[in-house]
Each structure stands twice: as C-alpha cells, then as structure tokens.
Amino acid sequence: MTLYSSLFEKNELPIRIAHDEQLAAFKIADSLSKHLPSVSVTRPIVFVCIGTDRSTGDSLGPLIGTLLSEKNISPFHVYGTLDEPIHALNLEDKLKEIHEKHLNPYIIGIDACLGRMKSVGVIQIGDGPVKPGSGVKKELPPVGNIHITGIVNISGFMEFLVLQNTRLSLVLNMAKIISKGIYHTSLRYMHSAKLEEYEIKEEPV
C-alpha cells in the first residue's frame, strides 16, 4: 500500500476534490489508480480531453491534453490538445479513430462543466461517460468508462456566454492540478507493471 492509499480511503465514485485543496493532485491520482483496470488486464488506457481553445471555459480539456503531451505518461495515451482539439465537430470521428487504433480501450473522458457557485473550482471523478455539450444544450456522443470534469463557472443562464467569460487563471490552475494527478497515476501504473513483471520472473518453474 502506498502512502496516499493509506491516507485517502475513498473508493466509491463520484469523488469531488477542490483544485486548491492540499494534496489535490495526489488525491486525484489515488482515486484514478483505484478505478483503472489492473495492469494484468492489458487494456490500453486512453484519456480523451474534450474542448476548444476558442472558449476560455471550454479550454480545460485541451489544456490538460497539452500539459500531458509534454510529460512522459507512458503507457497512457492522450487525445485532444490545443493544437489538435476534440470538439463538437470532430468528436464522433475521433472516437471512431481511437477504437480503430486501440483494442478495447479503457477511456477516461475529460471535459469542463458548469455548476453551482459554491462548486466552481471543484474537480469531479465519476463513473460512466462524460456527456460533452450538455451544458450548452448540444447532443454529442458520451465519452468514457469513467470521467473527470472540472467545474469552471456557474450554470443556469446563458451558458455559452458564461463559458466565453470564464477566467483563464482558474481554468489553467485546474488543468495543472488534473494533469499532475494523471502524471502521478501513470507513475503508479508503471510501478505496478514492473512489480507484476518481477513477480512473474520470480515464480518457481
């Protein structure tokens, strides 16, 4: 058992973590690590970061994708960056491409969302797919076996305009915390893979 597993015993989804709370990135890693498939299952782990850089509030996903692309998070795969965003116009094609490229992928959908005022800045990890576009009344394919969402602003009135006028500072800080959490998840995942490989080698013939 790792240090953080002993500190954080939350096992059930959804989990809510304030982006500015102490050890937020490690809490994200702790939760993700518990809900990814076992290394022995050999399912490719794919993060699909949804959004566009044309809207400040909706840039959370591609910001995370860009930050992850600058790190070594092997064996995870990342789709959706500032240079190559995944958004309403290409989501279906990108999902098809992912399923053609990866056999039975385990997908984590990442997207921005709107919520109550007191929840702004909260990061949520939930079971099942994220439903992109629902905040602005768009019908798009659901994404993910599990999902990560960041509440970037308040909902309830002129959502499209609210997303356009969201503070970039908040979105960037949330993106940094989420990408750091995913990076630490990848380190744990690789460590588990090495341990499993070592145990197989040590098995008596």
CB 122 within 8 A of CB 60: no
Q: What percent of the chain has pLDDT over 90?
A: 70
The bridge status of strand 77-79 relative to strand 45-49 is parallel
Give the pLDDT of residue 134.
67
pLDDT single digits (tens) 9-47 = 445 778 999 999 999 999 999 999 999 998 776 899 999
Structure tokens at 181: 């959490």
Name the token pair of 14.
């959804």
**Cβ contact 140:133 at 8 Å:** yes
What whole-number distance in Å separates Cα of residue 167 and Cα of residue 150? 13
Cα 132 to chain centroid, rounded: 13
- Statement: residue 196 has pLDDT above 80: no
pLDDT of 112 reads: 95
Quote the tokens at residue 204.
Answer: 């008596």
Extract the tokens encoding 106. Answer: 């385990």
Cβ–Cβ under 8 Å, residues 188 and 29: yes
Average pLDDT score over residue span 131-139: 72
pTM score of the predicted model = 0.88
Residue in the structure block whose two tokens are 């059930």 = 12
Q: Which tens digit of pLDDT belongs to each residue from 37-76? A: 987 768 999 999 999 999 999 999 999 999 999 998 988 9
Residue 79 C-alpha from the chain's centroid: 11
pLDDT at 191 over 90: no
Residue 171's Cβ-count burial label (10 Å; 0-12, 13-18, 19+) is buried
